[in-house]
Amino acid sequence: MLQLEKRPNPSRFWGRATPVLAVFLTMIAGSILFALLGKNPFIAMRTIFWDPILGEYAFYFRGQLLVKAGPLILIAIGLSLGFRAGIWNIGAEGQYIMGAIFGAGVGLALYPMEGWFIFPLMVLAGVFGGWLWAMIPAILRTKFNTNEILVSLLLVYVAEALLASMAVGAMRNPQGNGFPGSRNLSQYPSAANLEIWAGTGIHWGVIAATGAVISAYFLLQRHILGYHISLSGQAPKAARFAGINPNKMIVICLGLSGALAGAAGLFEVAGPAGQISIDFNVGYGFTAIIVAFLGRLHPVGIALAGLLMALTYIGGENASTALGLPAAAIQAFQGMLLFFLLGVDILTNYKIKWIKGRWK
Partner 1 sequence: MTADFLTLSNLTKSYPRVIANDHVSLSIKPGQIHALLGENGAGKSTLVKIIYGLVQPDEGEMQLAGQPYQPQSPAQARAQGVGMVFQHFSLFESLTVAENVVLGMENSPPLSLLQSRITEVSQAYGLPLDPRRIVRDLSAGERQRVEIIRCLLQDPKLLIMDEPTSVLTPSEVEILFKTLRKLSAQGTAILYISHKLEEIRQLCDEATILRRGRWVAHLDPKEKTANELAELMVGATLNAPQRHKRTQGPVTLAVKGLSQPPLTPFSPALKNISFTLQQGEILGVAGVAGNGQDELQLALSGEALSAAGTLYLGEKDISQMGPNARRSLGLASAPEERLGHAAAPDMTLVENALLSASARLALAKYGLINWSKTRNFAGEIIAKFDVRTPSTEVVARALSGGNLQKFVVGREIMQKPKLLIINQPTWGVDAAAASAIRQALLDLAAQGAAVVVISQDLDELIEISDQFAALYEGGLSEPCPIEDLSFEEIGLLIGGVQSRENTHATA
Interacting residue ranges for partner 1, rule: CB under 8 A: 5, 8-10, 222-225, 227, 230-231, 234-235, 237-238, 240-243, 245
Separation between Cα atoms, residue 288 and residue 190, nearest integer Å: 29
The set of residues, in sequence order, having a beta carbon less than 8 Å from that of 156 and lying 6+ positions away, is: 91, 93, 94, 97, 285
Q: Closer CB to partner 1, residue 217 or residue 227?
A: 227
Q: Which of these, 78, 142, 103, 90, lies nearest to 302 by C-alpha position?
A: 78
Least distance to partner 1, CB of residue 143, Å: 18
Least distance to partner 1, CB of residue 221, Å: 8
Q: Closer CB to partner 1, residue 20 or residue 235?
A: 235
Q: Which of these, 247, 253, 215, 225, lies nearest to 134 by C-alpha position?
A: 253
Least distance to partner 1, CB of residue 22, Å: 22
Separation between Cα atoms, residue 14 and residue 348, nearest integer Å: 5
Q: Closer CB to partner 1, residue 41 or residue 226?
A: 226
Q: Closer CB to partner 1, residue 5 or residue 56?
A: 5
Q: Closer CB to partner 1, residue 111 or residue 227?
A: 227
**What's 212's DSSP letter?**
H
Least distance to partner 1, CB of residue 243, Å: 4
154-158 long-range contacts (CB < 8 A, ≥24 apart) are 154/91, 155/91, 155/94, 156/91, 156/93, 156/94, 156/97, 156/285, 157/94, 158/94
End-to-end CA distance of the chain: 10
Q: Closer CB to partner 1, residue 173 or residue 245?
A: 245
Q: Closer CB to partner 1, residue 12 or residue 143?
A: 12
Least distance to partner 1, CB of residue 8, Å: 5
Q: Closer CB to partner 1, residue 143 or residue 237?
A: 237
Least distance to partner 1, CB of residue 230, Å: 8
Q: Which of these, 125, 145, 130, lies nearest to 92 by C-alpha position?
A: 130
Angle subtended at Cα 297 by Cα 101 and Cα 64, rounded to the nearest 5 degrees = 55
Separation between Cα atoms, residue 128 and residue 263, nearest integer Å: 8
- The CA distances from residue 286 to 69, 94, 193, 356, in Å, are 13, 10, 23, 44
Least distance to partner 1, CB of residue 264, Å: 26
**What's 277's DSSP letter?**
-
Least distance to partner 1, CB of residue 74, Å: 23
